[in-house]
Structure 1
Amino acid sequence: MDIQLDTAPCGYFSISNTGLIQSVNGTLLNMLGYERGELLGKHLESTMSVTNKLFFHTYFYPYIQLHGHVNEMYVSFRTSTGQDVPVLLNGIRQQRDGETFIDCVVLAMRKRIEHEKDVLQTKAKLEELYQKTNEANQKLELLHAEYETKQQELLRINHQLEAMAWIDPLTGLGNRRFFQEKLLATLASYRENEELFSLFIMDIDHFKKINDTYGHPVGDLVLTNLARLLQSMSRENDIVARYGGEEFVAILPDTDQETAISIAERYCATAASTLLGEYQITISIGVATVSSGDTDQSLLHHADLALYASKSSGRNRATHAANLVKN
């Protein structure tokens, strides 16, 4: 860690997606009274009271999974001597070298805002319960059981939120992020096991005209119905997603060039002969089949060039990128 960050006038730490501390600056270490080696690799929640752990689970993890950042969160850390230090925390989720990290900065706060009073009251009640007799300890055990139940529910909600981040809300298909992850995984499988696959980029012909003529609600209906049609035509292992706007993509495992163009032509013919609600459309498709040396970007580029060729040749057709070299 460079000296500017290590001595910055605010605390800084970075945690893994599971909450393990990856790095921490000197300012935060001084604030909490720890040595660097005492915190690195430890779970962030090891520096929190039971109450703050619950608050952190309830707000921080679900929010940052859904939005990718948290701004102005008030929470308390516990020093090495057991003292609470209220702080203002900002965090952001980022990808580095294929791994997910949550980077945070904290400023020590002298006062808490009004809505934190409930948290402090709950903390006081919990601390009192720890000091009572056997009867109070039984109540505390019940409280812990309730806490575990809520924690499991929060984990379930977190999984739901994570799933939502991969789904296109209009069509219900996987979104662009979902597709890109699947494409990278399929490429990795190809490099390891030589499992051939093909890629489609599909575009609705003259979609702007549909929106301009009938309005965006009709355009959304056409997109939704086409998504259902593509999904119904796909094989069990095929991956269909919405790439953006009126573009859809598909990954077809175990599909060579000849099979891929045959399937793409069937997609075109079926779309052209199927009423999507009260409206009829055509689609153009660009097809690319993976080859040695391909990356996700090169494969998308080849399919996109093939899609452009389909559009230029009159639309309502499929073109394989390999045939562009011959023309």
Structure 2
Amino acid sequence: MDTQLDFAPCGYFSISSKGIIQSVNQTLLNMLGYDRNGMLDRHIESFLSVTNKLFFHTYFYPFIQLYGQVSELYLSLKASSQLDVPVLLNGVRQERNGEIFIDCVVVEMRKRLEHEKDILQTKKRLEELYQATNEANKKLELLHQEYEIKQQELMNVNHQLETIALTDPLTGLKNRRFLQESLLTNIALFQRTQLSFSLLIFDIDHFKSINDTYGHPVGDLVLIKLAQLLKAEAREIDIVARYGGEEFILILPNTTQEDSSRIAERYRSKIEATPMGEYRITTSIGAATITQEDSDQTLLQKADQALYYSKANGRNRVTHAIALT
């Protein structure tokens, strides 16, 4: 990278089509407090909070794929101190030597625009209430208190949003987004330490007939009861998440292929023997264990194929992906 770009008055980084940082200038390194090795070859999302990752997925990636560029995207990057650095980002997709790259520049923003807008809206409401009736003046006093509280809560907003973004509202388990992040974390740990881990996918057998016969409130109750059972049986280090619909996933750290099959069978037997309110259910389970060749997508795909085999061969059974090879 030439000196002019390296010390340009704005941050610069380039990522691959998979989001891996390929290059970064000194201005951005200084802005975030990293050395070059601390950012290169890492996924850009490792420098984003969960909330910003959600925004990145729902806006940046689709927009860059559709239009080839993104302008004036407001988000926060995580500095080495773990503090958020608000920035304005412009990005463009380019092809070099047959590969797709996304080149981005960022300018540091000193003001939290969204929070400032919220405070200004509160002030406007205050001005309107000053002109209202005596009853409205009582509301104004409450609004003054709300205004003071909002200023104190600014530092807590991101944490609250992250908690909401990671939790399934029906079952209280972690949701699909948290699962994806945990899966990437465990894969990275495996690549560094060779510490094996496994994945279990649970699917409630004939769940549609439960909803059709007894109604969705009963179906919801079954989902809640199953979530409680999975959580109660899991180890403290395990990740229990609702993947969607009637599917649940467990990430089992430090678990081999043999261990995962044994654990899955224990869960299957426990679920079959445990009433879910006034009802009983069975589950089909697919298992997969990490290998050197796996990514998050291939590991999920192998577990899903094993699940499909369990369902296609009588349900209420466990299949490990190794049996399909």
- Same fold, judged at TM 0.5 (above): yes
Across the aligned residues of Structure 1 and Structure 2, the Cα RMSD in angstroms comes to: 3.0
Matching of residue 55 in structure 1 with residue 116 in structure 2:
yes
CA distance in 1, matches of 2:108, 2:239: 39
Shift of 1:153: 1.8
Which residue in the other structure is 1:234 paired with?
Answer: 234
Q: Determine the structure 2 residue equivalent to 1:42.
A: 108
Matches within 5 A, 1:131-150: 150=150
Corresponding letter in the other structure for 1:21: V
* Residue in 2 that maps onto 1:20: 86
Paired residues in the alignment total 220
1:171 matched to 2:171? The reply is yes
Q: What one-letter code is carried by the residue in structure 2 that aligns with 1:185?
A: T
Specify the code of the residue in structure 1 equivalent to 2:87: I
Measured after TM superposition, the shift of residue 313 of structure 1 is 1.5
Q: SS at 1:278's partner residue?
A: coil
From the superposition, tell whether residues 218 and 299 of structure 1 become closer, same or farther in structure 2 (CA, over 3 Å): same
TM-score, normalised with respect to structure 2: 0.61
User: Distance in 1 between the 2:184 and 2:229 partners?
Assistant: 25
Q: Does 1:272 align with 2:272?
A: yes
Uncovered stretches (5+) of structure 1, i.e. residues with no partner? 2-11, 26-38, 60-74, 76-113, 122-142
Say if 1:236 and 1:13 are closer, same or farther in 2 by CA, change over 3 A. Answer: same
Q: 1:13·1:21 contact (CA, 8 Å) conserved in 2? A: no
Identity of aligned residues (%): 50
The Cα shift of 1:159 comes to: 1.2
2:154 aligns to what?
A: 154
Structure 1 position 43, deviation (Å): 2.1
Q: Residue 72 of structure 2: SS of its match in structure 1? A: strand
Task: Write out per-residue CA displacement over residues 123-160 of structure 1, whole angstroms, 9 at most, x where no aligned residue.
Answer: xxxxxxxxxxxxxxxxxxxx9xx96x643423224312
Taking the aligned partners of 1:280 and 1:202, their CA distance within structure 2 comes to 15
Name the CA distance, whole Å, in 2 between partners of 1:19 and 1:202.
40
Q: Which runs of 5+ in 2 are unaligned?
A: 1-11, 13-70, 77-83, 92-104, 129-143
Structure 2 Cα separation of the partners of residues 21 and 275 of structure 1: 52
C-alpha distance after superposition, 1:169-224 (max 9, x if no partner): 00000111111111111111111111100001110000001001100000000000
Q: Determine the structure 1 residue equivalent to 2:209.
A: 209
Write the distance in 2 (CA, Å) between the matches of 1:279 and 1:191.
43
- Judged with a 3 Å threshold, the aligned counterparts in structure 2 of structure 1 residues 266 and 44 are, in CA distance, closer, same or farther, namely same
Matched position secondary structure for 1:279 = coil
Q: Single out whichever of 156-165 and 211-220 deviates more from structure 2.
A: 156-165
Structure number with bigger Rg: 1
